[in-house]
Amino acid sequence: MIQELLLIAVVIAVVYFMFIKKKPAVSRNKTDIKEEKNKEPLNEMIECATCGIYCELDDTILSNNKYYCCDECVEKG
Protein backbone atom coordinates (compact mmCIF):
# COMPACT_ATOMS: atom_id res chain seq x y z
CA MET A 1 0.00 0.00 0.00
CA ILE A 2 2.74 2.46 0.95
CA GLN A 3 4.74 1.49 -2.14
CA GLU A 4 1.74 2.28 -4.35
CA LEU A 5 1.34 5.72 -2.73
CA LEU A 6 5.05 6.46 -3.14
CA LEU A 7 4.91 5.37 -6.79
CA ILE A 8 1.89 7.61 -7.44
CA ALA A 9 3.64 10.54 -5.71
CA VAL A 10 6.75 10.02 -7.83
CA VAL A 11 4.71 9.87 -11.05
CA ILE A 12 2.84 13.06 -10.08
CA ALA A 13 6.12 14.81 -9.24
CA VAL A 14 7.69 13.80 -12.56
CA VAL A 15 4.65 14.99 -14.51
CA TYR A 16 4.63 18.27 -12.57
CA PHE A 17 8.30 19.05 -13.10
CA MET A 18 8.38 18.00 -16.74
CA PHE A 19 5.15 19.49 -18.05
CA ILE A 20 3.44 21.83 -15.61
CA LYS A 21 6.12 23.82 -13.81
CA LYS A 22 7.06 26.95 -15.72
CA LYS A 23 10.66 27.91 -16.16
CA PRO A 24 11.70 31.09 -14.35
CA ALA A 25 11.76 34.20 -16.50
CA VAL A 26 15.14 35.69 -17.25
CA SER A 27 15.44 38.96 -15.40
CA ARG A 28 17.15 41.81 -17.17
CA ASN A 29 18.99 44.53 -15.37
CA LYS A 30 18.47 48.17 -16.21
CA THR A 31 22.14 48.37 -17.24
CA ASP A 32 21.60 45.62 -19.84
CA ILE A 33 18.70 47.55 -21.33
CA LYS A 34 20.74 50.78 -21.40
CA GLU A 35 23.63 49.02 -23.13
CA GLU A 36 21.29 47.75 -25.85
CA LYS A 37 20.01 51.28 -26.44
CA ASN A 38 23.56 52.67 -26.66
CA LYS A 39 24.75 50.18 -29.27
CA GLU A 40 25.87 51.73 -32.51
CA PRO A 41 23.45 51.24 -35.38
CA LEU A 42 24.55 49.11 -38.29
CA ASN A 43 26.60 50.93 -40.87
CA GLU A 44 24.62 52.21 -43.83
CA MET A 45 25.30 50.73 -47.28
CA ILE A 46 25.87 53.21 -50.12
CA GLU A 47 25.90 52.51 -53.86
CA CYS A 48 29.00 53.50 -55.82
CA ALA A 49 28.17 56.21 -58.36
CA THR A 50 30.31 54.57 -61.07
CA CYS A 51 30.14 50.78 -60.80
CA GLY A 52 26.98 50.39 -58.71
CA ILE A 53 28.29 48.07 -56.01
CA TYR A 54 27.28 48.69 -52.41
CA CYS A 55 29.89 49.59 -49.79
CA GLU A 56 29.69 50.56 -46.16
CA LEU A 57 29.52 54.31 -45.67
CA ASP A 58 32.78 54.29 -43.70
CA ASP A 59 34.62 52.63 -46.60
CA THR A 60 33.43 54.94 -49.38
CA ILE A 61 35.11 57.98 -50.89
CA LEU A 62 33.05 61.16 -51.14
CA SER A 63 33.87 63.30 -54.17
CA ASN A 64 31.66 65.97 -55.76
CA ASN A 65 28.76 64.92 -53.49
CA LYS A 66 28.89 61.35 -54.85
CA TYR A 67 30.07 58.20 -53.13
CA TYR A 68 32.65 55.92 -54.76
CA CYS A 69 34.01 52.53 -53.73
CA CYS A 70 37.64 53.10 -54.77
CA ASP A 71 40.05 55.59 -56.35
CA GLU A 72 39.60 53.98 -59.79
CA CYS A 73 35.87 54.74 -59.72
CA VAL A 74 36.59 58.32 -58.63
CA GLU A 75 38.83 58.76 -61.70
CA LYS A 76 36.23 57.19 -64.02
CA GLY A 77 33.36 59.21 -62.53
How far is 3 from 5, CA to CA, in rounded Å? 5
Q: What does the pLDDT read at residue 66?
A: 92
What is the pTM assigned to this prediction?
0.46
Give the gyration radius of the chain's Cα atoms.
31
Q: pLDDT tens, position by position, for the chain (77 residues)?
A: 888 888 999 999 888 888 776 666 666 666 666 666 666 666 789 999 999 999 998 889 999 999 999 999 999 87
List own/partner pairs for 12-18 with CB under 8 A and 24 or more apart.
none
